[in-house]
Structure 1
């Protein structure tokens, strides 16, 4: 039964502490074959006056936003075609790659590219998976697409996976995989 103890400065919200204990539990499960209920995570909080580095008392760093929520906000804005809001979630140098495209850097490029493919498309989400890798948060959104082809014929149940890289609280990259071309060819 793994027991993990983490020492943190006071100042994090209950939601942020819950995210931390969940992330620590997940990290243990990457290596130790224990069920979640067998993993104990304890947070020990200390007032900032009880901590000094270099002789200076320090305040805790603000918690990073949940990368899954950043992705959800972006996807909701895109589906609503609220491009101004969607742009606020994107970092400098943002790139997106969709099936059969070169990297695009502007949301308007995506809108132009999709105009001849379908009248509209929406997503049903089966889940979001987040992890940290190589200095960035990685979020996978997965589910199915539904919408209407250019001739008015409806479609549904087309699988997709979107992979996002988030750094400095902004989406840096989006890669998209889906079965739209295969379904369309039928």
Structure 2
């Protein structure tokens, strides 16, 4: 059984990701703390929930996450939550993609996300589209 604090923090991450994929950045913003920071692959940094949504709108025609699992690491004051799975969607030219690996790391306190780090294969696939078609 998971500690209630860690369970609440995990639920905040799930709600944030659901809102982000809709995309509904206003709803996603309800789950972020003041001072929130999101670091995307390449060290692009955003300080609002709308930043990642805007970045994704320029990179993809549309994109969703197929979440395979969450790993939850309770701490003394904060919970670290990892979301792991695959991205699928379409590139701006309409070409479909799937099985694009991702890992998101969230640091959460009191049900609010303090920071997140985002890693995925998209940059590599953009550099060499044949990689994503194997």
Q: How would you bin the TM-score normalised by the shorter chain?
A: 0.7 to 0.9
Offset from partner CA, 1:94-147 (integer Å, 9 cap, x none)? 000001243210122223322321111101111000012363100000000000
Which sections of structure 1, spanning at least 5 residues, go unmatched?
1-17, 21-62
After superposing the two structures, state which structure 1 stretch, 81-90 or 111-120, moved more. 111-120
Aligned alpha-carbon RMSD (Å): 1.6
- Structure 1 residues 70 and 103, CA gap change in structure 2 (3 angstroms): same
Q: Identify the residue that residue 110 of structure 1 maps to in structure 2.
A: 52
> Are 1:133 and 2:70 an aligned pair?
no
Q: Identify the residue that residue 183 of structure 1 maps to in structure 2.
A: 125
After superposing the two structures, state which structure 1 stretch, 162-171 or 112-121, moved more. 112-121
Which sections of structure 2, spanning at least 5 residues, go unmatched?
129-134
After superposing the two structures, state which structure 1 stretch, 134-143 or 110-119, moved more. 110-119
| Alignment match of 2:31 (pick from 65, 75, 89) | 89
Counterparts of 1:170 and 1:67 in 2: how far apart (Å)? 7
SS at match of 2:41: coil
